[in-house]
Amino acid sequence: MDLARTEVAEAAPREGRRRSAAVRLGLVAVPVAFFAVFFAYPVAAIVGRGLKVDGVWQFGRLPEVLGQSDIRHVLWFTTWQALASTALTLLIALPGAYVFARFDFPGKNVLRAVVTVPFVLPTVVVGTAFLALVGRGGLLDELWGVRLDTTVWAILLAHVFFNYAVVVRTVGGLWAQLDPRQEEAARMLGASPLRAWRQVTLPALAPAVAAAALMVFLFTFTSFGVVQILGGPTFSTLEVEIYRQTSEIFDLSTAAVLTIIQFLAVAAILAVHAWTVRRRESALRLVDASVTARRPRGAGQWALLAGVLAVIAVLLLLPLAVLVQRSLDAPDFAYYRALTSADGGIFLVAPIEAIGNSLQYAVAATLIAVLIGGLAAAALTRRDAGRFVRGFDALLMLPLGVSAVTVGFGFLIALDEPPLDLRSTWILVPLAQALVGVPFVVRTMLPVLRAVDQRLREAASVLGASPWRVWREVDLPMVRRALLIAAGFAFAVSLGEFGATVFIARPDNPTLPVAVARLLGRAGELNYGQAMALSTVLMVVCAVALLVLERLRTDRTGEF
């Protein structure tokens, strides 16, 4: 009898694990189907359309395209500006990461949210803000007669502005959890502050710094809106060249070759990024971040804090302030009032309707992203997941690096006939935006889900709870706040998506980023002022979303 009971007791956990594996495969099936239909299929369709002529594959186009001097120049500029942007971002942002990790000062939480605002702004707004600062008639032009638009410096500074938060969040988040007593012990043994930092802290931070650097490189390597607005006809990245070849020259063959090149480069970057993330997660023992921050001590630390605050004010806040100021240049809020009148040339509706369109699209995209990303995160929760599931974890990041222009144009090519004739429906825009939001949802929810003790789930299953009840009773109470944060990030990035939306947004239903780009593409002071006004509205909406997220992140009254 005792032996039988023992066998039953041992069999119950095995049954629970088998059921868990079946549920996990069921969960991952929905995200896999979503990415197959709305990512892989459109990208393959547009690449196939470009490389297949009269039923014959034209693989010889690859060396032919790479042999063109202008294409080689685009490849070279794309690579070196990404490297320069990454190095400059690390140089400027690492002191900020230290300040946010180790110092405690009034307004720190609000300032952390403000620092994050540029990252969730659409690149077209970032380009617009720097255009108002360094372009023709901008602040520098008015004060000192200096113009930096159509120069590489404007692009590099805009990339630092956009990616500053990546370094502060990635490196600073880890730095705040490193035990400072290790470095203090090295100093007590006679090491200088620099040597202690170099031999103790830097090796521990190296994986986080590498991960942040690779993320910045990824975002700048695929830069579109910033280069399109600030680079003019002089500078072009792969993403901009794909857009030009597709929409202006109508050379789908060249665009397809460039898409393949970018895809291979991004895949290599993501592989390295995944390796550094695994090192960062497994190699360190962390402490509670709340006990490592303290008020600055001594003149040196106060000077460092003042310097970081000055950099934030000049590099991050000044472009946004100039953007707002330019939107208010006309008396009686004329630029904002002009948004309410329809323009038959560039818009079929009043530009202000883009606000409502963007909000509706972003809400729908957020619901899709939370559903797909939540299912994917739940499937990836177990560390003993199979190779297919772990590989899918890396694939979820691909929409952040693959050409959004290719995805948008692929939507038009692939989703225009039954059974997926979506070209004339409103859902096309949220689907494209959700592809960008899903990776943020997964990255936000996955660490929290992995922190849930698997034995709690197994115990609930053994007691007869269904998978849905296990999720509702065990996982949901612990991840509720992470779910809200993930939804907020998905909403912000969906609101600002531009690369794919510019192709599929209908003229009678433009989004805010598309409306801004169209206004900037037309000459005239009124069009420029309206672009500034719409960009300001979009910036305010994103800032409010980030402030809400920061409040959720720092609220300690709940479970997470």
Cα distances from 187 to residues 97, 99, 180, 295, 392, in angstroms, run 22, 20, 11, 20, 44
pLDDT at 288: 47
Region 453-478: what's the mean pLDDT?
66
Q: Is the pLDDT of residue 345 over 60?
A: no
Whether the CB-CB separation of 463 and 370 falls below 8 Å is answered with no
Q: Is the pLDDT of residue 383 over 60?
A: no
Residue 318 CB contacts under 8 Å (≥ 6 apart), including other chains: 133
Reference 130, options 158, 110, 172; nearest CA is 158
Q: What is the mean pLDDT of the chain?
A: 77
CA angle in degrees (0–180, nearest 5) for 470-472-473: 65
Residue 547 CB contacts under 8 Å (≥ 6 apart), including other chains: 110, 113
The pTM assigned to this predicted structure is 0.76
Rg, C-alpha atoms of the chain: 25
Q: Is the pLDDT of residue 141 over 90?
A: no
- Residue 438, classified by CB atoms within 10 Å of its CB into exposed (0-12), middle (13-18) or buried (19+), is buried
pLDDT at 560: 33
pLDDT at 558: 37
Q: Is the pLDDT of residue 6 over 60?
A: no
194-198, 358-362, 404-408, 437-441, range with the lowest pLDDT: 194-198
pLDDT one-digit tens code per residue, 411-429:
888 887 777 778 778 888 9
What percentage of the chain has pLDDT greater than the value 70?
Answer: 73
Q: Is the pLDDT of residue 387 over 90?
A: no
pLDDT at 385: 53
